[in-house]
Chain A
Amino acid sequence: MLYLVHDDDGRITQSNRVFDPTGYDKLLHDENYKFVKLDVSTVLPLDSHYIVGSEVVPRGRMSLRVTKRRFKADGLDAAVIKNLPVPCEVTISVGEGVVDRQTATDRDLELSSATPGVFKVLIEKFPFLPWTAEFEAV
């Protein structure tokens, strides 16, 4: 039996395959966990689905549009990510380090840089799958 433990938003936090489920429901109830159980023999990846009511639903993709991935490093030219599902979390990283993190409230996000380099943008808005892309200022 597969037990999918989830939070109030339906985000799956644990995917547990239980071979002897006797007493397991009570254990989860006693600990105030919300869960859905499936009679399947596989384990579901935590990030690919979420729970709506008692249904396991695939997480959809954001329908974003990007004007360009490379732009001039002059502080003026910009790449634009359009149609953000606002509000959403935007994280920008360079190499291993996060350089900017904020909540976007506009549907268009313009990205510019005064100096050259490659950076990565991560956009998160549950229940959509996270979206990530690399951009380069040249």
Chain B
Amino acid sequence: MRINLDVLSSVKEQAETQINRRFSRPADNAVEYSAKREAARDYLRLGIEAPELAAEAELMGVSVENLARAILAKTDVALQRGLERRRAVLAVRNAKSKAEIDAVLATLGPEMPI
């Protein structure tokens, strides 16, 4: 009996699963930033003022409009995480050895406990 393996592909599949699992749970700040971006967009486009946005502007001593513009000027954390995930998955798919795959996984840092 002969078993023909494709060991590297198996390592890649596991690494990809590991990456997707890592990114499947949104970071708390990503959820917060997404909500803030939505509130900022609603204010600037539709004039709808979320109470939380107004409260934060008051806390910071700035106008709601300036706060909304500052929020939207920042990088979208959720989009950034999506880009990071995609970049890692593609790097694993293109890896030529387990060492290259391990290097990609090392860039993700330690897994956060659930």
A residues bordering B, Cβ < 8 Å?
73, 75, 78, 90, 92, 94-97, 99-100, 102, 104-106, 108-119, 137
B residues bordering A, Cβ < 8 Å?
1-11, 13-14, 97-98
Does the CB pair B2–A110 fall under 8 Å? Answer: yes
Does the CB pair A111–B98 fall under 8 Å? Answer: no
Contact check: which of B4, B8, B13, B98 meets A75 at CB < 8 Å? B4
Bound-state CA distance A94–B15 (Å) is 11
Does the CB pair B1–A116 fall under 8 Å? Answer: no
- Tell me the minimal C-beta distance from A115 to chain B in angstroms: 4
Contact check: which of B2, B7, B13, B14 meets A115 at CB < 8 Å? B7
Q: Taking chain A's interface residues, is the majority helix, strand, or loop, or is none over half, making it mixed?
A: strand
Contact A105 to B14, CB < 8 A, known contacts A114-B6, A116-B98? no
Does the CB pair B6–A100 fall under 8 Å? Answer: no
Does the CB pair B7–A117 fall under 8 Å? Answer: yes
Does the CB pair B3–A97 fall under 8 Å? Answer: no
Does the CB pair B1–A97 fall under 8 Å? Answer: no
With a cutoff of 8 Å between Cβ atoms, the chain B residues found around residue A105 in the complex are: 1
Does the CB pair B1–A137 fall under 8 Å? Answer: no
5 contacts between A and B (CB under 8 A): A75-B4, A92-B5, A110-B3, A116-B97, A117-B98
